[in-house]
Chain A
Amino acid sequence: MIEVKDLHKSFGDAHILKGITTSFDKGKTNLIIGQSGSGKTVFLKCLLGLFEYEAGTISYDGKIFSNLSESEKRDLRAEIGMVFQGSALFDSMTIAENVMFPLQMFTKMSKSEMEDRADFVLKRVNLPEAHNKMPSEASGGMQKRVAIARAIVNNPKYLFCDEPNSGLDPKTAIVIDNLIQEITDEYQITTVINSHDMNSVMEIGEKIVFLKNGLKAWEGSNKTIFKTDNASVTDFVYSSNLFKKVRKMYIEENE
């Protein structure tokens, strides 16, 4: 479980996060949603320790990140997996090398142990045959799978995904969402996912935090998001044309 208390983050004069308090549960897919530019990526990068923040605390299963020593931070980092928005695969390495990279960095595994583990996770993300391809030869969906494989290869306790299905076709997007949810459940990971995609919200929104103007405007789940009368949330939910049309049809049908 990850707990965030009163998190503030600015870039120069721009106050991006204005005091966010929330928590993310273990074994669940926790979604951070909000319009583009609402600070989701900044929030995630604070959680990851990539950005320094002015105020607030973030704790990982009770351990407050900013109180940790350098070596404790290092140990914690070894338990974190991250899937970046554009996959962020190392383009000078093959797919298998990408997946083995965290093992090479964090563990004392032998080459063959690393290869076995990479085989295993690549199979888990349904890419049993792609080992020797370069990332540039892989499709967007494949790259995402590799990024997920790389993120989970070292058995992380925490998994972060920044818009994991942006740039993917709707079908692949759902497959990726479901893959993340299955893995989260299977290994009881605390997973935090940034999204502005209503499909993801419905599919895997076990817990949802809605950001607006640097503040948490609402919190709930895919079970409650359609029932709320919070104007910002309904605005966001029905900003999708599809949802608008479905809703209109629904209203017309019921008249």
Chain B
Amino acid sequence: MTYLHNIGAYFLMIAEMFRKPTKWSVMRQLILKDIDDLIIGSLGIIAFISFFVGGVITIQTALNIDNPLIPKYLVGFATRQSVILEFAPTFTSIIMAGKVGSFITSSIGTMRVTEQIDALEVMGINSLNYLVFPKTIALMLYPFAIAVGMFLGILGGMAACVFGGYSTLADYILGIQTDFDSFHVIYAFIKTFVFAFVLATIPSFYGYYMRGGALEVGKASTTAFVWTSVVIILLNYVITGMLLG
């Protein structure tokens, strides 16, 4: 029952978010600040994780191919497929549910418990528009961060491959060009857009509607992380079934 109630409240929140928009001069500032906090502030960790996980995928693939009949370029091919299809869009989004998500829940939740949201409402400001809308818009740039992640993941694979001596640079480059299907990239970016929306709105929902004090802010962040991840995983399944299945 509370699940149903929460789902209903979530969609009402989304509708409310577009009503009574905040002055553009103010909104622009908010969007720029959120781009800085949520996107620019995440590039470092996305780059770091992508590069090294890309490397690990390559090493694992290379080590598992001990059949001499399988061509060496397959290592590059497998790395490219894993990074573009799953690792960069989905895996990174789960990590972002922890980083960006808990930041959003705790910052909005703190505003709730310290009555800053009431202060906005008293001034006749639509607090959902003021708080959630700019985050949603900022996260529409999230696919760019993921593109960086894809690039660095493949680059990390290349570094691991060449420096680890698993195959030659030429083989790896041949591999990452083999059977390239541009629809896979489109599929990955469609996923990423959907995940970006989830990453902005579910943590906002748990922050905005929380009640209590500092302890509850922490609990709300955890709950938000769990549900954001669950929804991302489920949507990943649904979107993959629809677009590739």
A binds B: yes
Q: Which residues of A contact B (CB under 8 A)?
A: 45, 48-50, 73-74, 77-78, 80, 82, 84-86, 88-92, 101-102, 104-106
Please name all residues of chain A whose beta carbon is closer than 8 Å to the beta carbon of B123 when the two chains form the complex. Answer: 77-78, 101-102, 105-106
Among residues of A, the one whose C-beta sits closest to the C-beta of B118 is A50
A sample of 14 inter-chain contacts (CB < 8 A) reads: A45-B118, A48-B122, A50-B121, A73-B124, A77-B122, A78-B123, A80-B122, A84-B119, A88-B119, A89-B116, A90-B119, A91-B116, A102-B123, A105-B125
CB distance from A236 to the nearest CB of B (A): 25
If A104-B26, A105-B23, A105-B26 touch, does A88 touch B115 (CB 8 Å cutoff)?
Answer: yes
Q: A88-B114, A88-B119, A90-B116 are in contact. List 10 more A-B contacts (CB 8 A).
A: A45-B118, A49-B122, A50-B121, A74-B124, A78-B123, A84-B115, A88-B115, A88-B118, A104-B25, A105-B124
A45 to B118, CA, bound (A): 9
Please name all residues of chain A whose beta carbon is closer than 8 Å to the beta carbon of B115 when the two chains form the complex. Answer: 84-86, 88
Tally B residues with Cβ within 8 Å of A.
15
Instruction: Tell me if A50 and B125 are in contact (CB < 8 A).
Output: no
- B107-136: CB near A (< 8 Å → 1, else 0) gives 000100011101101111100000000000
CB distance from B166 to the nearest CB of A (A): 48
CB distance from A14 to the nearest CB of B (A): 14
Chain A-chain B contacts (Cβ-Cβ < 8 Å), number: 46
Please name all residues of chain A whose beta carbon is closer than 8 Å to the beta carbon of B33 when the two chains form the complex. Answer: 92
CB distance from A96 to the nearest CB of B (A): 15
Instruction: Tell me if B23 and A82 are in contact (CB < 8 A).
Output: no
CB distance from A47 to the nearest CB of B (A): 10
Please name all residues of chain B whose beta carbon is closer than 8 Å to the beta carbon of A89 when the two chains form the complex. Answer: 116
Looking at the complex, which one of A45, A86, A102, A105 makes contact with B114 (CB distance below 8 Å)? Answer: A86
Please name all residues of chain A whose beta carbon is closer than 8 Å to the beta carbon of B124 when the two chains form the complex. Answer: 73-74, 77-78, 105
